[in-house]
Amino acid sequence: MTTFPPRTLRLDALAYGGDYNPDQWSEETWKEDVRLMQQAGVNLVSLPVFSWPLIEKTPGTYEFGWLDRVIDLLWAHGIKIDLATATATPPAWLVRQHPDVLPHNADGTRLEFGSRQAYCPSSLTFREHALRLTEAMANRYGDHPALALWHISNEYGDHVPRCWCPISAEHFRRWLERRYGTIDALNTAWGTSCWGQNYTDYSQIEPPRTSMGPINPTQQLDFERFSSDALLELFQAEIDVLRRVTPDIAVTTNFMSLFKELNYWDFAAAEDLVTDDAYPDPADPYAHVPAALNYGLMRSLKGGQPWLLLEQAPSAVSWRDVNVPKAPGRMRLDSLQAIAHGSDGAMFFQWRQAKFGPEKYHSAMLGHRGENSRSYQETSALGAEIKKLGAIRGTRVTARTAVVVDWDSWWGSAAPDSLPSQRLDWLAQTRAWHGALYALGHTVDVVKAADLTAAYDLIVVPNLYIVDDDQAQSLTTFVENGGHLIVGPFSAVVDPTEKVHTGGAPGPLRNLLGVEVDEWWPVPDGQERTITPLPGADKSTPLTATIWTEWIDPTADADVIARYEGGVLAGRAAIVRNHHGNGAAWYVSAALTDDSLEELLRLVLEEAGLPTRPTSNRRVEIVTRTDGTTDYTFVLNHGTTAATVSVPTGAHDLLAGTDVTEHIEVPSLGAAVLRHPARYDQDLLTVTIPSKNIEV
């Protein structure tokens, strides 16, 4: 029997399988399930995610019989378990005995039992019952050979990311008191002398509820931080129980990609394995681009360690207004994209398509038609292919660029009011900057604006509204050591208490960026602004900005790279570059369109000594995983026409089982996984896509 290092996924192959809800089916059906799972190459299933009410029908009495039987049956067929602690949704009896476990919305309305996740994150009653169940689960199954991983709760914050009930309000006050100490310190931090908001006692403070006008921005920001922390506290409480009872078993909770409500840097630090649920919309022909950003985040949350795609839809979901299925090949390609980006497997929601309940129209590996369903045909074919990729397990993705993701800045810049413009959207900006790097052929990691290493040649900062001195120092050191940095508009505006930096933006980054911002000049809806062409570019193609521009003044040493044309800002600097130490820092004062961002980032990449694709392209993606000796280069064609791609020497296509020389043709929605000797400079320099084959 394989032995596994402590707190790692106990599986010696890429994971393949999905959520399994045996409690919705008869035991006769279970037998068919395991047979078909085996046939489809399933080696891991997640269960029993929502079964608390069946395990604990009456308080404190656990009925494990059915769960024992299903776990033993799965194990007898060689299938391991991502074992849920089953605390994702409380039973009705708990809610009725203790109505105060139910969450409230900002208006004070209590949310009623009738869906899942019917709990307030701060409820100690809920926590006590959840921990008791967690301990019972750990005692019961901690030694079971099928146990591969603990799956704590499910998608924290999916339905209830914030709660405004009296218990949450009390928890918020305690959190604030821990953060600020005296009430005077809180008054100073929140700037309550504005609009007469001063407090004389913590008991006077409430979460930001529906109010008469704009609410104190720091109060709002702290409520975001608190709400993320409240769920993290609950997560940590379950982790503590599991670490005590089963210290060697890895723990995870499934994330929801770039999810605004939870600071995943903190959540990832608490767990052993990052897992993600990804639902790119098949109706969007470019959904794979933000998916690449999400996967970049997942692999970066624990410093490049492999992660696991724990849920994706085999075809349609059931929770959008219009739920478009995946075209043949799309599910395979989406799965391979996640693996390319560092996932050690591909899992689905769910195994068998439901017959009842809100998810009966959600696709599953085994569709309503059973073995003949297209989803079973396609997922079982992929299950066979995944086995050919076993050598990839544990390898790392290579990336030379990274994008800064910071939840404080996301929350602060998303305040519902009192900003220069409500149109500058953190997620849209971050996706746009990442998308431009993607189009130019780069795989992009994600970093905090802290502890930056020289591992990257270029770090992009689309929108870092809040900057403290440590972050500023980290960014500065990165550039001084030779790194290239580019910072987008409305960055380094305020400190962590939302106070404007003395002297204005970009506050502690002023010297690094070589610029001072005088005023924000948001662009009215529907209008555009032009910016002079970049050096070396065709003089007839100015850059275009929408949404946002700024009145800035460069310092004497900084180079003005481009200027505004026309309008009030005509002739003023728009894009500035400042050589600093051994590197360079750029400041972009406008929200550029996708084409303009691509042009600018092409220039910045070239100056950083990094390659760029001759023609930008968002359809054909090339990502490399490596063990240092052998590279695995994934060529993923998300487009509607075939692409011809030149290949490195000594390449062998693991999926086709053939050696490849010079070129490979990859059909629409097709993929190749090329194994070849590792090359330090393996990226778009060595794998190029002839432009005639590219549908841009």
Q: Which residues are catalytic?
A: 155, 311
In the complex, what is the shortest distance from the CB of residue 350 to ligand GLA, in angstroms, rounded to a whole number? 7
3-state secondary structure of 531: strand
Helices 217-245, 124-141: inter-axial angle, 10-degree rounding = 30
Rg, C-alpha atoms of the chain: 26
Vertex 365: Cα angle to 363 and 367 (nearest 5): 60
* One residue of 151, 299, 330, 362 binding ligand GLA per CB under 6 A: 362
Residue 476 CB partners (closer than 8 Å, separation 6+) = 509, 511, 512, 580
Here's the x/- map for ligand GLA, 507-546, by CB under 6 A: it reads as ----------------------------------------
Question: Euclidean distance between the first and final Cα of the chain, in Å?
Answer: 50
Assess contact for 425 and 433: CB atoms under 8 A: no
In the complex, what is the shortest distance from the CB of residue 456 to ligand GLA, in angstroms, rounded to a whole number? 31
Compute how many other C-beta atoms are within 10 angstroms of the C-beta atom of residue 645. Answer: 21
Strand 147-151 relative to strand 444-447, pairing: unpaired
Residues numbered 259 to 288 that lie near ligand GLA (CB under 6 A) are 277, 279
| Closer residue to ligand GLA, CB minimum distance, 350 or 409 | 350
In the complex, what is the shortest distance from the CB of residue 204 to ligand GLA, in angstroms, rounded to a whole number? 39
Size of site (CB under 6 A) for ligand GLA = 10
* One residue of 30, 235, 259, 349 binding ligand GLA per CB under 6 A: 349
Q: Does 449 bind ligand GLA (CB under 6 A)?
A: no
In the complex, what is the shortest distance from the CB of residue 349 to ligand GLA, in angstroms, rounded to a whole number? 4
Here's the x/- map for ligand GLA, 632-671, by CB under 6 A: it reads as ----------------------------------------
* One residue of 33, 56, 82, 155 binding ligand GLA per CB under 6 A: 155
| CA–CA separation, 479 and 456 (whole Å) | 11
| CA–CA separation, 219 and 187 (whole Å) | 10
Ordered DSSP codes for 76-136 = HTT-EEEEE-S-SS--HHHHHH-GGGS-B-TT-PBPPSSSS--S-TT-HHHHHHHHHHHHH
In the complex, what is the shortest distance from the CB of residue 694 to ligand GLA, in angstroms, rounded to a whole number? 33
In three-state form (DSSP H/G/I as H, E/B as E, the rest C), the secondary structure along 23-87 is HHCCHHHHHHHHHHHHHHCCCEEEECCCCHHHHCCECCECCCHHHHHHHHHHHHCCCEEEEECCC
| Closer residue to ligand GLA, CB minimum distance, 119 or 564 | 119
* One residue of 51, 122, 154, 263 binding ligand GLA per CB under 6 A: 154
Q: Does 434 bind ligand GLA (CB under 6 A)?
A: no
Compute how many other C-beta atoms are within 10 angstroms of the C-beta atom of residue 32. Answer: 15
3-state secondary structure of 316: coil
Vertex 575: Cα angle to 570 and 577 (nearest 5): 140
3-state secondary structure of 225: helix
Residues numbered 316 to 345 that lie near ligand GLA (CB under 6 A) are 317
In the complex, what is the shortest distance from the CB of residue 242 to ligand GLA, in angstroms, rounded to a whole number? 20
Q: Which among 32-40, 125-133, 310-318, 410-418 is the span making contact with ligand GLA, rule CB under 6 A?
A: 310-318
Q: Which among 311-319, 553-561, 582-590, 617-625 is the span making contact with ligand GLA, rule CB under 6 A?
A: 311-319
Q: Which among 309-317, 466-474, 475-483, 648-656 is the span making contact with ligand GLA, rule CB under 6 A?
A: 309-317
In the complex, what is the shortest distance from the CB of residue 50 to ligand GLA, in angstroms, rounded to a whole number? 7
Query: What residue ranges bind ligand GLA (CB under 6 A)?
Result: 154-155, 277, 279, 311, 313, 317, 349, 359, 362
